[in-house]
Structure 1
Amino acid sequence: MKKYSYPYLLTLAIAVVAAIFGFFAWRNMIYRPTFLSHAAFRYMVMTALAMTVVVCFALRKRFAANISTRTEYLKAWCGMALGMVFVFSALFTTLTWLLPGVESTYTAPYRYSSGGSRSCSGASVYDRDLDEEIRICEPSGNLYSGRTLRVIKRTNALGMVVIDATTFP
């Protein structure tokens, strides 16, 4: 297929729209209810940095003509490291969501968290397994009257996935 033809343009446009739709579907269905453990987060960052070093050495000779100073090399490495962290964050989050685990239920007090342009409204609740406060987006029930939340979650080696959350009066 020639790069200046209409079928190529249509294929490219459909691929871009599908990628954008896939990203927003992934963010709402997988990223928001999934929480990584502290150890999995450390492994993710170390793996991303190690892969950055490997890719940097693999591409060093190919792009040697374009990078002449050490500051340009440092900028290229930092850009690759940031990109790798985003890629491995998506990979680890999706793996946490896909892996089976032990389902458990707990009840805890919560406080209402309003949403902004980049976050959802929901309940902030302390999770004992992760040892941090997590935000559960849009739990069922009346979010304003009760202050107790029942959380059903699936815990595995990489973290946890919130399956359901319901408020109690």
Structure 2
Amino acid sequence: MNIIFIAGLLAIGIIIGVLSVILINKHKENHAKQNAKEILEEAERNVKKLERDAYINAKEKFQKERFQLQKQLKHREAEISKNEDRIRRREKELRRQDDSLKERESTLRKQQKQIDQTQGRISEQEKKAREIVNQQIERLESLSGLNRDEAKKQLLEFVSHQSSKI
């Protein structure tokens, strides 16, 4: 009976040992699962935090770049506006100069026309004056009985004689 009792105790001890090992392993497994679950949760929190940080950083970078681009755009728009104003002023000045030149051309054409008309009248008057002078010379020659060369000769002699008296 002793052996059976010992064998029974041994069997009970083995069963208790096996159950203890199973319970300990189950406990370790549960503990490992809990640790794994906590590690996964921590990893998920870290991933979410990293995603949030990356999103915030990307958003900040985007806003900075957007601000810089808007600033550059405003600067370029200001330059374009300035250049457009300068071009408009230059066009206005060129139109004014063109109008002034057209007015000068018109004035010069009118003056040239007046000059041409005046020259025409002067030419006619010179022609008439030459005709009158020639008529007067012919008349003087017929009245004096001297031709032009003879009258010149006498006039020179008279002037020479008068100058010698002085």
| TM-score (normalised: structure 2) | 0.21
**TM-score, normalised to structure 1's length?**
0.20
Max radius of gyration: which structure?
Answer: 2
* Larger relative helix fraction: 2
Q: Say which structure is richer in strand.
A: 1
